[in-house]
Amino acid sequence: MEWLTAEEALSVLQTKPQTLYANVSRGRIRAKPSPDDPRRSLYRAEDVRRLAERRPGRKRESAIAAETIRWGAPIMRSAISTIIDGRLLYRGCDAAELSQQATLEETAALLWQMETGQMGQLPRAGQEPDDAAAKSPLERLFIVFGRRAANDLPTSGRSPAVLQREAFGLLRLFYDTVLGDDAPVLPLHQRIALNWQRPDASDIIRRTLVLLADHELNASSFATRVAASTGAPLSAAVLAGLAALIGPRHGRASLSTAALIAAAREKDAAIAIRERLLEGSPLHSFGHPMYREAGDARAAALLARIELPPLYRALEAAAADLLGEKPNIDFALAAIAEIYDLPEDAPLLFFALGRIVGWLAHALEQVENGSLIRPRAEFIAQPG
């Protein structure tokens, strides 16, 4: 049983001596004479801390920790990216400004703290497994990276230089798995435009990839870091990020956007939004918890470069009127896909092809950090 001196108890309680003594007299805090000086009292630590947690305006540590996991303040330190005053920053550089000229390769060099010239110097990743060749891009990624994750070396005990070299290879493998390994060696946005036979979309693809390269501790990047913190191979960390990305509340949020657009095309933009509100269905296309004031900076940067079709403009206006929210990145990706007649899965592939840069940056940073990510659970007894 732990006991505190009066000074220690007052430090925990952040209160006056009279309040401490009053709580003792009321039986809330147990006390006993000090063995060293019977004229002084000791106070049971458990009682003191329990009372401190109940103070008005003061939350228990477990409650604070739980809130941080759900759109809360950052719970991990990272030098890769952050969102401040509505701006997305990559190592201090404004991502929207960076997207005006930079390629994804240059953005990767920034996030990985490498020389730009080192990007693109690696040889081809090689042939993908025969059983993956005929699958969709997403299926191929899971097959190829699942096989790599099961056989690659763990990150523990390996130098940063070796891991960075391996990360380059995984980046190239990821792109070759999606786009094929027989395309000319070009910047990624040009490879994608060529693969999709949409050369006029090359510049907007470049901007999109840069803006999707990282987004602080989003769900997929956090999953990547958790995997990397165990010492798992980098390929396994990428696989963890990919698994989190395909959820409908993350990379596949564009599916609900497509459904909203289809409803608006059939009826009316305002009616489509009203119906979803009445149904209680989520509207993933508008608003973002990380951009409360001015709206999603990534969407704003992309929408400024395209001419929205009338239906999208009507949805934007209806959302402003009925929701008080601006379009987010999912809305922007859906608009780009329609304007340039891109493949149906283009929004998800944009996320994957851009975000792997951030996943690998987070994995490398977490390995260098050396700590295991292991939150505690607060047990809740089930009724009955």
Query: Residue 282 above 90 pLDDT?
Result: no
- The ranges assigned to domains in the chain are 3-58, 103-384
In degrees, to the nearest 5, what angle opens at C-alpha 19 toward C-alphas 16 and 22?
A: 150
* The pLDDT of residue 346: 95
Across 361-384, average pLDDT: 84
The pTM assigned to this predicted structure is 0.79
* The pLDDT of residue 212: 98
pLDDT band at 76 (very low <50, low <70, confident <90, very high): confident
**Of 34 and 358, more confident:** 358
Region of 89 (left: φ > 0; alpha: ψ -120 to 50; beta: rest) is beta
Across 3-10, average pLDDT: 88
Strand, coil or helix: 324: coil
Rounded Cα distance between 380 and 300, Å, is: 42
**Of 107 and 369, more confident:** 107
Rounded Cα distance between 41 and 31, Å, is: 6
Query: Residue 72 above 70 pLDDT?
Result: no
* The pLDDT of residue 125: 52
Q: 103-384: which CATH number, 1.25.40, 1.10.10, 3.30.460, 1.10.580?
A: 1.10.580
**Of 54 and 135, more confident:** 135
Query: Residue 122 above 50 pLDDT?
Result: no
* The pLDDT of residue 17: 84
**Of 32 and 212, more confident:** 212
Rounded Cα distance between 222 and 311, Å, is: 35
| Percent of the chain surpassing pLDDT 70 | 89
Which parts of the chain fold into alpha helices (H)? 6-13, 17-25, 45-53, 61-69, 95-98, 104-112, 137-151, 160-179, 188-195, 202-211, 219-229, 234-245, 254-266, 269-279, 297-303, 310-322, 329-339, 346-369
**Of 379 and 283, more confident:** 283
pLDDT single digits (tens) 196-205: 999 999 999 9
Across 347-374, average pLDDT: 94
Across 172-176, average pLDDT: 94
pLDDT single digits (tens) 126-136: 555 666 666 89
Query: Residue 71 above 80 pLDDT?
Result: no
Query: Residue 31 above 90 pLDDT?
Result: no
